[in-house]
Structure 1
Protein backbone atom coordinates (compact mmCIF):
# COMPACT_ATOMS: atom_id res chain seq x y z
CA UNK A 1 0.00 0.00 0.00
CA UNK A 2 2.88 2.37 0.82
CA UNK A 3 5.80 0.63 -0.84
CA UNK A 4 8.65 2.99 -1.71
CA UNK A 5 6.80 5.99 -0.29
CA UNK A 6 9.08 8.38 1.59
CA UNK A 7 7.42 9.06 4.93
CA UNK A 8 8.55 11.32 7.76
CA UNK A 9 7.08 10.57 11.20
CA UNK A 10 7.85 13.26 13.75
CA UNK A 11 8.10 11.84 17.24
CA UNK A 12 8.42 8.47 15.55
CA UNK A 13 11.18 7.21 17.83
CA UNK A 14 8.91 6.65 20.84
CA UNK A 15 5.31 6.28 21.96
CA UNK A 16 2.41 6.28 19.56
CA UNK A 17 4.67 7.82 16.88
CA UNK A 18 6.85 4.71 16.95
CA UNK A 19 3.83 2.41 16.84
CA UNK A 20 2.56 4.24 13.75
CA UNK A 21 6.04 4.11 12.18
CA UNK A 22 6.10 0.34 12.71
CA UNK A 23 2.78 -0.01 10.93
CA UNK A 24 3.97 2.11 8.00
CA UNK A 25 7.22 0.12 7.79
CA UNK A 26 5.21 -3.09 7.39
CA UNK A 27 3.59 -1.50 4.33
CA UNK A 28 7.00 -1.06 2.68
CA UNK A 29 7.56 2.65 3.36
CA UNK A 30 10.95 4.34 3.48
CA UNK A 31 10.87 6.00 6.89
CA UNK A 32 12.51 8.95 8.56
CA UNK A 33 11.71 9.30 12.26
CA UNK A 34 12.60 12.05 14.70
CA UNK A 35 13.25 11.80 18.40
CA UNK A 36 14.53 13.72 21.38
CA UNK A 37 17.69 11.72 22.04
CA UNK A 38 20.12 9.80 19.86
CA UNK A 39 19.65 6.71 22.01
CA UNK A 40 15.90 6.68 21.33
CA UNK A 41 16.51 7.18 17.62
CA UNK A 42 19.11 4.43 17.34
CA UNK A 43 16.82 1.97 19.12
CA UNK A 44 13.85 2.90 16.94
CA UNK A 45 15.78 2.64 13.67
CA UNK A 46 17.17 -0.77 14.65
CA UNK A 47 13.63 -2.03 15.30
CA UNK A 48 12.10 -0.42 12.21
CA UNK A 49 14.49 -2.07 9.78
CA UNK A 50 16.79 -1.37 6.86
CA UNK A 51 14.70 1.33 5.17
CA UNK A 52 14.47 3.55 8.27
CA UNK A 53 16.66 6.46 9.28
CA UNK A 54 16.45 8.81 12.24
CA UNK A 55 17.17 12.44 13.03
CA UNK A 56 17.43 14.13 16.42
CA UNK A 57 15.37 17.32 16.37
CA UNK A 58 13.43 19.67 18.63
CA UNK A 59 10.68 20.76 16.25
CA UNK A 60 9.65 23.66 18.44
CA UNK A 61 12.89 25.28 17.18
CA UNK A 62 12.66 26.52 13.61
CA UNK A 63 16.39 25.96 13.06
CA UNK A 64 15.94 22.27 13.91
CA UNK A 65 12.99 22.03 11.52
CA UNK A 66 15.03 23.55 8.70
CA UNK A 67 17.98 21.25 9.42
CA UNK A 68 15.66 18.22 9.44
CA UNK A 69 14.22 18.96 6.02
CA UNK A 70 17.63 19.74 4.59
CA UNK A 71 18.69 16.23 5.58
CA UNK A 72 15.52 14.66 4.16
CA UNK A 73 16.03 16.55 0.89
CA UNK A 74 19.66 15.44 0.68
CA UNK A 75 18.93 11.79 1.47
CA UNK A 76 15.62 11.24 -0.36
CA UNK A 77 14.99 14.23 -2.61
CA UNK A 78 11.27 14.27 -1.90
CA UNK A 79 8.62 13.62 0.72
CA UNK A 80 5.43 11.69 -0.03
CA UNK A 81 3.80 11.56 3.39
CA UNK A 82 4.24 13.58 6.58
CA UNK A 83 2.91 12.22 9.86
CA UNK A 84 3.09 14.74 12.71
CA UNK A 85 2.55 13.58 16.27
CA UNK A 86 1.72 16.44 18.61
CA UNK A 87 3.40 16.80 21.94
CA UNK A 88 2.86 18.24 25.38
CA UNK A 89 0.05 17.63 27.84
CA UNK A 90 -0.87 19.87 30.76
CA UNK A 91 -3.16 19.59 33.77
CA UNK A 92 -2.88 23.07 35.29
CA UNK A 93 -6.17 24.78 36.21
CA UNK A 94 -6.64 28.53 35.97
CA UNK A 95 -4.74 30.12 38.82
CA UNK A 96 -1.79 27.73 38.47
CA UNK A 97 -0.95 28.25 34.79
CA UNK A 98 2.65 29.38 34.35
CA UNK A 99 4.34 31.11 31.45
CA UNK A 100 6.61 28.12 30.88
CA UNK A 101 3.65 25.71 30.82
CA UNK A 102 1.81 27.95 28.36
CA UNK A 103 4.85 28.22 26.08
CA UNK A 104 5.55 24.50 26.24
CA UNK A 105 1.96 23.64 25.31
CA UNK A 106 1.74 25.97 22.31
CA UNK A 107 5.33 25.32 21.18
CA UNK A 108 4.73 21.56 21.05
CA UNK A 109 1.19 21.51 19.71
CA UNK A 110 0.95 24.61 17.50
CA UNK A 111 4.35 26.12 16.66
CA UNK A 112 6.12 22.83 15.95
CA UNK A 113 3.28 21.54 13.79
CA UNK A 114 2.98 24.81 11.85
CA UNK A 115 6.63 25.11 10.90
CA UNK A 116 6.97 21.39 10.19
CA UNK A 117 4.04 21.43 7.76
CA UNK A 118 5.31 24.65 6.18
CA UNK A 119 8.76 23.15 5.60
CA UNK A 120 7.30 19.94 4.22
CA UNK A 121 5.20 21.81 1.68
CA UNK A 122 8.16 22.58 -0.59
CA UNK A 123 9.13 18.89 -0.76
CA UNK A 124 5.70 17.45 -1.46
CA UNK A 125 3.74 17.18 -4.67
CA UNK A 126 0.57 15.86 -6.23
CA UNK A 127 -0.83 12.93 -4.27
CA UNK A 128 1.02 13.84 -1.07
CA UNK A 129 -0.60 13.36 2.31
CA UNK A 130 -0.15 15.08 5.66
CA UNK A 131 -1.55 13.31 8.72
CA UNK A 132 -1.60 15.17 12.01
CA UNK A 133 -2.08 13.03 15.09
CA UNK A 134 -4.00 15.01 17.67
CA UNK A 135 -6.15 14.21 20.65
CA UNK A 136 -9.76 14.64 21.63
CA UNK A 137 -8.87 17.44 24.02
CA UNK A 138 -11.17 19.99 22.32
CA UNK A 139 -14.15 17.87 23.32
CA UNK A 140 -12.85 16.21 26.50
CA UNK A 141 -13.57 18.40 29.50
CA UNK A 142 -11.63 17.83 32.70
CA UNK A 143 -9.92 19.62 35.54
CA UNK A 144 -6.95 21.61 34.31
CA UNK A 145 -7.42 20.83 30.61
CA UNK A 146 -7.93 24.41 29.38
CA UNK A 147 -4.42 24.88 27.92
CA UNK A 148 -4.47 21.54 26.17
CA UNK A 149 -7.93 22.14 24.74
CA UNK A 150 -6.95 25.65 23.56
CA UNK A 151 -3.84 24.40 21.76
CA UNK A 152 -5.69 21.54 20.10
CA UNK A 153 -8.53 23.84 19.05
CA UNK A 154 -5.96 26.13 17.42
CA UNK A 155 -4.65 23.13 15.53
CA UNK A 156 -8.14 22.36 14.23
CA UNK A 157 -8.43 25.90 12.86
CA UNK A 158 -5.03 25.76 11.19
CA UNK A 159 -5.79 22.48 9.45
CA UNK A 160 -9.06 23.86 8.15
CA UNK A 161 -7.19 26.71 6.45
CA UNK A 162 -4.30 24.53 5.28
CA UNK A 163 -6.63 22.42 3.16
CA UNK A 164 -6.97 25.45 0.87
CA UNK A 165 -3.27 26.35 0.98
CA UNK A 166 -2.19 22.82 0.07
CA UNK A 167 -4.87 21.99 -2.49
CA UNK A 168 -3.07 23.97 -5.18
CA UNK A 169 -0.12 21.56 -5.07
CA UNK A 170 -2.28 18.44 -4.77
CA UNK A 171 -1.48 17.69 -1.13
CA UNK A 172 -4.19 16.77 1.35
CA UNK A 173 -4.09 17.26 5.12
CA UNK A 174 -6.21 15.41 7.65
CA UNK A 175 -6.42 15.14 11.42
CA UNK A 176 -6.48 11.85 13.30
CA UNK A 177 -7.83 12.44 16.79
CA UNK A 178 -6.90 9.71 19.22
CA UNK A 179 -8.04 9.10 22.75
CA UNK A 180 -5.46 9.82 25.42
CA UNK A 181 -5.35 6.09 26.18
CA UNK A 182 -3.28 5.57 23.02
CA UNK A 183 -0.67 8.23 23.70
CA UNK A 184 2.70 7.87 25.46
CA UNK A 185 1.13 9.52 28.51
CA UNK A 186 -0.54 6.21 29.32
CA UNK A 187 2.71 4.25 29.26
CA UNK A 188 4.59 2.92 32.24
CA UNK A 189 7.11 5.75 31.79
CA UNK A 190 4.55 8.51 32.13
CA UNK A 191 5.15 11.18 34.75
CA UNK A 192 2.94 11.47 37.81
CA UNK A 193 1.45 14.70 36.45
CA UNK A 194 0.80 13.04 33.11
CA UNK A 195 -0.88 10.08 34.80
CA UNK A 196 -3.09 12.51 36.74
CA UNK A 197 -4.09 14.22 33.50
CA UNK A 198 -4.82 10.87 31.86
CA UNK A 199 -6.90 9.66 34.81
CA UNK A 200 -8.83 12.93 34.92
CA UNK A 201 -9.93 12.45 31.33
CA UNK A 202 -10.53 8.74 31.75
CA UNK A 203 -12.78 9.28 34.74
CA UNK A 204 -14.80 11.78 32.72
CA UNK A 205 -15.46 9.37 29.85
CA UNK A 206 -18.69 7.40 30.17
CA UNK A 207 -17.14 4.45 28.32
CA UNK A 208 -13.60 3.91 29.49
CA UNK A 209 -12.26 1.44 26.94
CA UNK A 210 -10.82 3.60 24.16
CA UNK A 211 -9.17 3.01 20.79
CA UNK A 212 -6.23 0.63 20.87
CA UNK A 213 -2.89 1.48 19.31
CA UNK A 214 -3.61 -1.04 16.54
CA UNK A 215 -6.71 0.93 15.56
CA UNK A 216 -4.70 4.17 15.50
CA UNK A 217 -2.12 2.55 13.22
CA UNK A 218 -4.84 1.37 10.85
CA UNK A 219 -6.40 4.82 10.72
CA UNK A 220 -3.04 6.51 10.16
CA UNK A 221 -2.16 4.07 7.38
CA UNK A 222 -5.50 4.76 5.69
CA UNK A 223 -4.95 8.54 5.78
CA UNK A 224 -1.36 8.19 4.53
CA UNK A 225 -2.31 6.00 1.58
CA UNK A 226 -4.05 6.69 -1.73
CA UNK A 227 -7.13 4.95 -0.33
CA UNK A 228 -7.97 8.26 1.35
CA UNK A 229 -7.23 10.40 -1.72
CA UNK A 230 -10.69 11.96 -1.57
CA UNK A 231 -10.36 12.89 2.10
CA UNK A 232 -9.12 16.42 2.79
CA UNK A 233 -9.64 18.51 5.89
CA UNK A 234 -11.26 15.55 7.61
CA UNK A 235 -11.06 14.74 11.32
CA UNK A 236 -11.01 10.99 11.79
CA UNK A 237 -11.80 10.09 15.39
CA UNK A 238 -10.36 6.83 16.73
CA UNK A 239 -12.12 6.33 20.03
CA UNK A 240 -14.48 3.53 20.91
CA UNK A 241 -16.52 5.70 23.24
CA UNK A 242 -18.02 7.27 20.10
CA UNK A 243 -19.41 3.93 18.88
Structure 2
Protein backbone atom coordinates (compact mmCIF):
# COMPACT_ATOMS: atom_id res chain seq x y z
CA UNK A 1 0.00 0.00 0.00
CA UNK A 2 1.52 3.33 -1.06
CA UNK A 3 2.01 6.15 1.42
CA UNK A 4 0.05 9.28 0.44
CA UNK A 5 2.05 12.37 -0.55
CA UNK A 6 1.48 14.61 2.48
CA UNK A 7 2.29 18.29 1.85
CA UNK A 8 4.81 19.95 4.12
CA UNK A 9 2.44 22.88 4.74
CA UNK A 10 -0.99 24.08 3.60
CA UNK A 11 -0.32 27.60 2.35
CA UNK A 12 -3.28 29.96 2.79
CA UNK A 13 -1.88 33.04 1.00
CA UNK A 14 0.38 33.12 -2.04
CA UNK A 15 2.41 36.32 -2.40
CA UNK A 16 4.00 36.67 -5.83
CA UNK A 17 7.16 38.67 -5.34
CA UNK A 18 9.88 40.36 -7.37
CA UNK A 19 12.63 42.85 -6.75
CA UNK A 20 14.99 44.96 -8.83
CA UNK A 21 18.52 45.63 -7.64
CA UNK A 22 21.66 47.70 -8.21
CA UNK A 23 23.24 44.76 -10.05
CA UNK A 24 24.11 41.09 -9.71
CA UNK A 25 25.17 39.68 -6.31
CA UNK A 26 28.30 38.22 -7.94
CA UNK A 27 29.54 41.72 -8.81
CA UNK A 28 28.99 43.47 -5.46
CA UNK A 29 26.55 43.40 -2.53
CA UNK A 30 23.37 43.96 -4.55
CA UNK A 31 20.94 46.40 -2.94
CA UNK A 32 17.22 46.60 -3.62
CA UNK A 33 15.84 49.38 -5.83
CA UNK A 34 12.23 48.19 -6.14
CA UNK A 35 9.96 45.55 -4.57
CA UNK A 36 6.55 44.32 -5.63
CA UNK A 37 4.16 41.98 -3.81
CA UNK A 38 0.86 40.60 -5.08
CA UNK A 39 -1.03 38.51 -2.54
CA UNK A 40 -3.98 36.20 -3.19
CA UNK A 41 -5.67 33.74 -0.86
CA UNK A 42 -5.83 30.03 -1.58
CA UNK A 43 -9.47 29.90 -2.70
CA UNK A 44 -9.12 32.90 -5.03
CA UNK A 45 -6.02 31.34 -6.61
CA UNK A 46 -7.68 27.96 -7.17
CA UNK A 47 -10.63 29.73 -8.78
CA UNK A 48 -8.46 31.67 -11.24
CA UNK A 49 -9.00 31.38 -14.94
CA UNK A 50 -5.96 31.42 -17.23
CA UNK A 51 -5.20 34.81 -18.81
CA UNK A 52 -7.07 36.70 -16.09
CA UNK A 53 -5.99 37.77 -12.62
CA UNK A 54 -8.62 37.45 -9.87
CA UNK A 55 -10.58 40.53 -8.87
CA UNK A 56 -9.48 40.28 -5.22
CA UNK A 57 -5.74 40.69 -4.69
CA UNK A 58 -3.60 42.74 -2.31
CA UNK A 59 -0.69 44.60 -3.89
CA UNK A 60 2.29 46.62 -2.69
CA UNK A 61 5.00 48.34 -4.75
CA UNK A 62 7.92 50.22 -3.20
CA UNK A 63 10.80 52.06 -4.88
CA UNK A 64 13.98 52.34 -2.80
CA UNK A 65 17.03 54.61 -2.77
CA UNK A 66 19.79 51.95 -2.62
CA UNK A 67 22.45 54.32 -1.22
CA UNK A 68 25.03 53.03 -3.69
CA UNK A 69 25.70 53.43 -7.43
CA UNK A 70 23.43 51.40 -9.71
CA UNK A 71 25.16 49.36 -12.39
CA UNK A 72 24.44 50.80 -15.89
CA UNK A 73 23.34 47.35 -17.09
CA UNK A 74 20.78 47.18 -14.26
CA UNK A 75 19.57 50.69 -15.13
CA UNK A 76 19.22 49.76 -18.80
CA UNK A 77 17.03 46.79 -17.83
CA UNK A 78 14.90 48.30 -15.05
CA UNK A 79 14.95 52.01 -16.05
CA UNK A 80 15.81 52.82 -12.41
CA UNK A 81 18.84 55.00 -11.69
CA UNK A 82 20.31 57.02 -8.86
CA UNK A 83 18.68 60.20 -10.18
CA UNK A 84 15.07 58.99 -10.31
CA UNK A 85 15.43 57.10 -7.01
CA UNK A 86 17.20 59.91 -5.18
CA UNK A 87 14.07 61.17 -3.39
CA UNK A 88 12.84 57.72 -2.36
CA UNK A 89 13.17 56.22 1.11
CA UNK A 90 16.12 53.99 1.86
CA UNK A 91 15.51 50.38 2.93
CA UNK A 92 14.91 51.37 6.52
CA UNK A 93 12.77 50.27 9.45
CA UNK A 94 9.79 52.15 8.04
CA UNK A 95 9.99 50.11 4.82
CA UNK A 96 10.27 46.92 6.88
CA UNK A 97 7.19 47.91 8.91
CA UNK A 98 5.20 48.60 5.72
CA UNK A 99 6.06 45.14 4.38
CA UNK A 100 5.23 43.44 7.69
CA UNK A 101 1.90 45.33 7.91
CA UNK A 102 1.06 44.28 4.35
CA UNK A 103 1.82 40.61 5.04
CA UNK A 104 -0.01 40.69 8.39
CA UNK A 105 -3.27 41.43 6.57
CA UNK A 106 -3.09 38.09 4.75
CA UNK A 107 -4.23 34.68 5.93
CA UNK A 108 -1.42 32.58 7.44
CA UNK A 109 0.68 30.71 6.58
CA UNK A 110 2.01 32.90 3.77
CA UNK A 111 4.36 31.88 0.96
CA UNK A 112 6.44 34.36 -1.03
CA UNK A 113 6.93 33.09 -4.59
CA UNK A 114 9.72 34.47 -6.76
CA UNK A 115 11.28 33.22 -10.00
CA UNK A 116 14.86 32.11 -9.30
CA UNK A 117 14.08 33.30 -5.78
CA UNK A 118 16.34 30.79 -4.01
CA UNK A 119 19.46 32.13 -5.72
CA UNK A 120 18.49 35.79 -6.14
CA UNK A 121 15.42 37.44 -4.60
CA UNK A 122 15.24 35.68 -1.22
CA UNK A 123 18.96 35.95 -0.25
CA UNK A 124 19.02 39.66 -1.17
CA UNK A 125 15.72 40.34 0.61
CA UNK A 126 16.95 38.53 3.74
CA UNK A 127 20.21 40.49 3.65
CA UNK A 128 18.36 43.83 3.62
CA UNK A 129 16.12 42.66 6.48
CA UNK A 130 19.07 41.36 8.53
CA UNK A 131 20.88 44.67 8.02
CA UNK A 132 18.09 46.22 10.13
CA UNK A 133 18.40 43.53 12.80
CA UNK A 134 14.96 42.21 11.84
CA UNK A 135 13.48 38.93 10.62
CA UNK A 136 10.26 37.14 9.75
CA UNK A 137 8.24 34.63 11.79
CA UNK A 138 8.18 30.91 11.08
CA UNK A 139 4.80 31.13 9.26
CA UNK A 140 6.26 33.20 6.40
CA UNK A 141 7.42 30.68 3.81
CA UNK A 142 9.00 30.97 0.38
CA UNK A 143 9.09 28.90 -2.82
CA UNK A 144 11.04 29.26 -6.05
CA UNK A 145 8.74 29.24 -9.09
CA UNK A 146 11.66 28.32 -11.36
CA UNK A 147 11.96 25.04 -9.46
CA UNK A 148 8.17 24.56 -9.43
CA UNK A 149 7.81 25.07 -13.20
CA UNK A 150 10.74 22.71 -13.68
CA UNK A 151 8.95 20.03 -11.68
CA UNK A 152 5.61 20.60 -13.42
CA UNK A 153 7.16 20.55 -16.89
CA UNK A 154 9.65 17.75 -16.20
CA UNK A 155 12.70 19.98 -16.75
CA UNK A 156 15.72 19.59 -14.48
CA UNK A 157 16.76 22.70 -12.53
CA UNK A 158 19.89 21.06 -11.12
CA UNK A 159 23.48 21.15 -12.46
CA UNK A 160 23.90 20.10 -16.12
CA UNK A 161 24.69 16.44 -16.81
CA UNK A 162 27.72 15.16 -18.68
CA UNK A 163 25.85 15.12 -21.97
CA UNK A 164 24.82 18.72 -22.56
CA UNK A 165 21.62 19.60 -24.37
CA UNK A 166 21.22 22.74 -26.42
CA UNK A 167 18.81 25.06 -24.63
CA UNK A 168 15.75 26.05 -26.61
CA UNK A 169 12.65 28.02 -25.76
CA UNK A 170 10.87 24.69 -25.49
CA UNK A 171 13.05 23.74 -22.49
CA UNK A 172 13.97 27.16 -21.11
CA UNK A 173 12.81 28.03 -17.60
CA UNK A 174 13.28 31.76 -18.07
CA UNK A 175 10.03 33.37 -16.95
CA UNK A 176 9.38 35.19 -20.21
CA UNK A 177 9.90 31.93 -22.16
CA UNK A 178 7.47 30.07 -19.86
CA UNK A 179 4.93 32.87 -20.35
CA UNK A 180 5.36 32.74 -24.14
CA UNK A 181 4.87 28.97 -24.21
CA UNK A 182 1.59 29.35 -22.29
CA UNK A 183 0.11 32.43 -23.94
CA UNK A 184 1.78 32.34 -27.39
CA UNK A 185 2.87 35.96 -27.14
CA UNK A 186 5.67 38.02 -25.63
CA UNK A 187 5.11 39.85 -22.32
CA UNK A 188 4.47 43.56 -22.76
CA UNK A 189 7.12 44.65 -20.23
CA UNK A 190 10.20 43.07 -18.65
CA UNK A 191 12.39 43.98 -15.66
CA UNK A 192 9.85 46.14 -13.89
CA UNK A 193 8.95 44.52 -10.59
CA UNK A 194 5.18 44.93 -10.98
CA UNK A 195 5.17 43.69 -14.59
CA UNK A 196 7.34 40.68 -13.73
CA UNK A 197 5.07 39.76 -10.82
CA UNK A 198 2.03 39.91 -13.10
CA UNK A 199 3.81 37.72 -15.68
CA UNK A 200 4.66 35.20 -12.95
CA UNK A 201 1.10 35.22 -11.60
CA UNK A 202 -0.42 34.67 -15.06
CA UNK A 203 2.03 31.82 -15.74
CA UNK A 204 1.14 30.15 -12.42
CA UNK A 205 -2.63 30.29 -12.93
CA UNK A 206 -2.37 28.34 -16.18
CA UNK A 207 -2.38 25.25 -13.91
CA UNK A 208 -3.54 26.60 -10.52
CA UNK A 209 -4.14 23.33 -8.65
CA UNK A 210 -0.87 21.73 -9.77
CA UNK A 211 1.08 24.91 -9.00
CA UNK A 212 -0.45 25.23 -5.53
CA UNK A 213 0.15 21.56 -4.73
CA UNK A 214 3.81 22.01 -5.59
CA UNK A 215 4.02 25.15 -3.42
CA UNK A 216 2.59 23.19 -0.48
CA UNK A 217 5.17 20.43 -0.97
CA UNK A 218 8.21 22.65 -1.53
CA UNK A 219 7.70 25.75 0.64
CA UNK A 220 10.38 26.41 3.27
CA UNK A 221 10.50 29.12 5.97
CA UNK A 222 11.91 32.34 4.51
CA UNK A 223 14.23 32.70 7.51
CA UNK A 224 16.03 29.48 6.48
CA UNK A 225 17.28 30.99 3.19
CA UNK A 226 20.88 32.22 3.73
CA UNK A 227 21.38 35.93 3.14
CA UNK A 228 23.80 36.80 0.35
CA UNK A 229 25.79 39.50 2.15
Q: Could you tell me the TM-score, scaled by structure 2's length?
A: 0.36
Tell me: higher relative CO, structure 1 or 2? Use CA pairs within 8 A at least 6 residues apart.
2
TM-score by length of 1: 0.34
